[in-house]
Structure 1
Amino acid sequence: MPDSLVQAQFGAHAANYVASAAHAAGESLDHLRAWMAVRRPHRLLDIATGGGHTALALASACPQVLATDLTFPMLLAARSFLHAHGAHATTFALHNAAQLPFSGACFDAVTCRLAAHHFAAPDQFVSESVRCLRTNGCLAVIDNVAPDNLAAASLVNAFEKLRDPSHGRHQTAADWEAMFTANRLQIALNQPYRKALNFADYCTRMSVPAHRRTQLSALLLQAPAAVHSYFNPRTIDGALWFDLREILIIGTLPD
């Protein structure tokens, strides 16, 4: 996905992502926080920090957190959010996830949450992250994942792209595991999750116009069986809800 399109989409909606309940919390984030609390890396890089929620969640376990993003307005919003919540030791940098401006072996942990589906080259993001890891360091990725069925995956990605033109591609859990192992990472955790999203909130975060919302809701409700099972659309108190699937995958770099 072109950097300019990602920057345009997220620069215009930075405040929405800072305020997003779906990004501020979640079972996978809780598990990542607990995992890092045990490991306690000294220096952590949070790539594509977005609203800064992951950086904040891990700041108590990591003395040095560097939060980075491709989009300057998003980085400014994250800095304001983190400082407002007392994370004054966090530092910030602007860069592309596939071209990290750091020397090798300089971080104990690298994280990336709910962003890699926008990356044009996720495999390069993984290799660059590993290049920056110290021995016994870890890479942790939380991201939405596609179903294994190729036709269903294509429809899920088309749905996401209709809502957000900067969407690239949801990988499958197997795709992520393959990228990790191809870069010498030993899989410590590959945990799936199902997360519920309010359809109206999902659309509002990206200022989706009314006609596009109608198209999206029709796609949800009229999807083929495999896609319907993935999204699980339903009405709760008069509001449309649906699910996305995500994983937390953690790999460690051996000696």
Structure 2
Amino acid sequence: MELAAQVADSLVAIRFSIQNEVHFPLSDSSVQAQFGANAAFYVTHETHAKGASLVRLVEVLPLRPEWEALDVATGAGHTAFALAPHVRRVLATDLTPEMLAEARQLGTERGISNVDFELARAEELPFNDSRFDLVTCRIAPHHFDSIPAFLERSRAVLRPGGSLVVIDNLVPDGSGGGYVNAFEKLRDPSHAACLSDRQWREALDAAGFELRHREVLGKRMKFGAWASRHDERMQGFLKSLLMAATTEARGLLQPRTVDGELTFGLHEGFYWAEARA
């Protein structure tokens, strides 16, 4: 099939998913396969390893040296390692064994001794109730099959008044968000759905959390690095979809070329909430 025809067919599929509010259910194996194959990539990936939200996490939270923290979907461990100097201990969990192996190695290389690692699903955190003072999850919930289940378990394992920090990519409400989610899914099969700012605030409230701090951080993504796991043909396909984005989606994506490099925009939502008594 010619590239133009593939783009046209995908635009039809994207419009269908928007109109029907399609959610992309995932199996654990699909997430593990995607992240297992690309585990080393996340060790040095700029957004995960150095993003502004990682700095804001330490700046905003009133971290205490006696705290026990849980970092969910830790990936290469960047969030856990940022917390480690400020708390007593961090337990870092992930669904993918290869990601945990990379995180362990990185922690050893950095001489970090107060971070432990455990295999666990975000929606089924296998820990006693009221165990942790802090739960964090950064740039991961859009891969979860059930964000409400993740929030419910996070609420359960937190001590009364404990803190939850969720940081994740945001999409606009409505058709713009549908387009961005479908576009992301075509690039990354493990993508389930990013929420809008409104949806996150509603989900946190429904799960029994009181919002203490919220901010939206903009970031520019380098298209070449973002699409690098694919061959040249697929990269051209994704580029065509980016440039053909609907008006609503382009308000977020804002593709542009600077010094010969194509970039596009995304937003990260930063939410610090406390468990209601």
Normalized against structure 2, the TM-score is what? 0.88
1:59 to 70, 80, 84: 84
Q: Residues of 2 paired with 1:68 and 1:164: CA distance?
A: 21
Partner SS for 2:163: strand
**Residues 44-193 of structure 1 mapped to structure 2, 5 A cutoff:** 44-148=69-173, 150-193=174-217
**Residues 216-231 of structure 1 mapped to structure 2, 5 A cutoff:** 216-231=238-253
Displacement of 1:67 in angstroms is 0.6
Q: Counterpart in 2 of 1:251?
A: 273
Q: Residues of 2 paired with 1:37 and 1:201: CA distance?
A: 34
Distance 1:122 1:194, change over 3 A: same
Partner SS for 2:227: helix
Q: Residues of 1 paired with 2:63 and 2:84: CA distance?
A: 13
Displacement of 1:40 in angstroms is 5.0
Q: Residues of 2 paired with 1:36 and 1:227: CA distance?
A: 32
- Cα deviations by residue, 1:4-30 (Å, 9 ceiling, x for unpaired): 000000001000011101111122221
Letter in 2 for 1:27: A
Letter in 1 for 2:30: L
8 Å Cα contact 1:75-1:92 kept in structure 2: yes
Q: Residues of 2 paired with 1:87 and 1:254: CA distance?
A: 32
Q: Counterpart in 2 of 1:199?
A: 223
Q: Residues of 1 paired with 2:208 and 2:241: CA distance?
A: 40
Letter in 1 for 2:219: K
Q: Counterpart in 2 of 1:237?
A: 259
Q: Residues of 1 paired with 2:232 and 2:27: CA distance?
A: 26
8 Å Cα contact 1:139-1:251 kept in structure 2: yes
Residues paired across the two proteins, number: 252
Matched, 1:208 2:230: yes
Q: Residues of 2 paired with 1:247 and 1:21: CA distance?
A: 17
Q: Counterpart in 1 of 2:32?
A: 7
Which entry has the higher C-alpha Rg, 1 or 2?
2
RMSD (Å), alpha carbons:
1.2
8 Å Cα contact 2:179-2:246 kept in structure 1: no
- Cα deviations by residue, 1:175-208 (Å, 9 ceiling, x for unpaired): 111111112211001211111111111112xx12
8 Å Cα contact 1:41-1:109 kept in structure 2: no
Q: Once the two structures are aligned, what percentage of the paired residues are identical?
A: 40
User: Structure 2: where are the runs of 5+ without partners?
Assistant: 1-25
Letter in 2 for 1:111: T
Q: Residues of 1 paired with 2:241 and 2:207: CA distance?
A: 37
Displacement of 1:39 in angstroms is 4.9
Letter in 2 for 1:152: G
User: Structure 1: where are the runs of 5+ without partners?
Assistant: none
Displacement of 1:160 in angstroms is 0.3
8 Å Cα contact 1:36-1:58 kept in structure 2: no
Distance 1:39 1:185, change over 3 A: farther
Q: Residues of 2 paired with 1:188 and 1:84: CA distance?
A: 35
Q: Residues of 1 paired with 2:54 and 2:65: CA distance?
A: 16
Bigger shift: 131-140 or 79-88?
Answer: 79-88
Partner SS for 1:60: helix
Displacement of 1:37 in angstroms is 4.8
Distance 1:40 1:177, change over 3 A: farther
Normalized against structure 1, the TM-score is what? 0.96
- Cα deviations by residue, 1:124-165 (Å, 9 ceiling, x for unpaired): 0000000000011011000001112x1111110011001001
